[in-house]
Chain A
Amino acid sequence: AQECQNLEVERQRKLERIKQKQSQLQELILQQIAFKNLVQRNRQQEQQTSRPPPSNSVIHLPFIIVNTSKKTVIDCSISNDKFEYLFNFDNTFEIHDDIEVLKRMGMACGLESGKCSPEDLKIARSLIPKALEPYLTEMAHGSINNVYVP
């Protein structure tokens, strides 16, 4: 009975780790799709305009954004070498990374919310290796719950 109990504990721990790793795999797949989609979009746009956009109108990955109300007063201290910054806000703010921005731009084909149309799913499939396709199908309707044997 004691050994059964120990195995139950181990089983639970493994299940939790598997869940966390499935989530990690899902995020990696999303990042791959979003990145490739972005690169493809920009390549097509540059081909259409025959030149790249002005360098001061674009931000290259990686980056982080901080957004707040335009009425917010921000007190900013910067070290001389720009290695340290300190921001004091008098209002709430939000922080998002570049991947979140790409998801909001629709670059992840709706997979981040499990709402992926058949057309988007087709695009997403073309952006990942074949071995990851079973996971994509699951993600299109929710999240990864199974691990497929390659």
Chain B
Amino acid sequence: RTRILVSIGESFGSSEKFHKINQMVSSSERTLKRGLDMSSAPKPLKRL
């Protein structure tokens, strides 16, 4: 769906693109961890 393309050897801009890539990759890890946390949280008991 989303791909980031970097042309190696560009004198300007590649650092920012790598930074963007790293943010994209690390945000997926956070989403995955959050999903795992939510699924493992115990459900609250209902009040009678």
Contacts and interface: CB of A to CB of B under 8 A. Distances in A.
B30 to A, nearest CB: 10
Contact of A95 (B9, B22, B28): B22
A120 B14 CA distance: 26
B29 A92 contact: yes
What is the interface residue range for chain A against chain B? 10 to 19
Contacts of A24: 12
B25 A93 contact: yes
Chain A facing B: main interface SS = mixed
Interface residues of B, number: 13
Contacts of B36: none
Contact of B26 (A92, A97, A100): A92
5 contacts: A31-B11, A94-B25, A94-B26, A96-B22, A99-B15
Interface of B: 8-9, 11-12, 14-15, 18, 21-22, 25-26, 28-29
Interface of A: 24, 27-28, 31, 62, 64, 92-97, 99-100
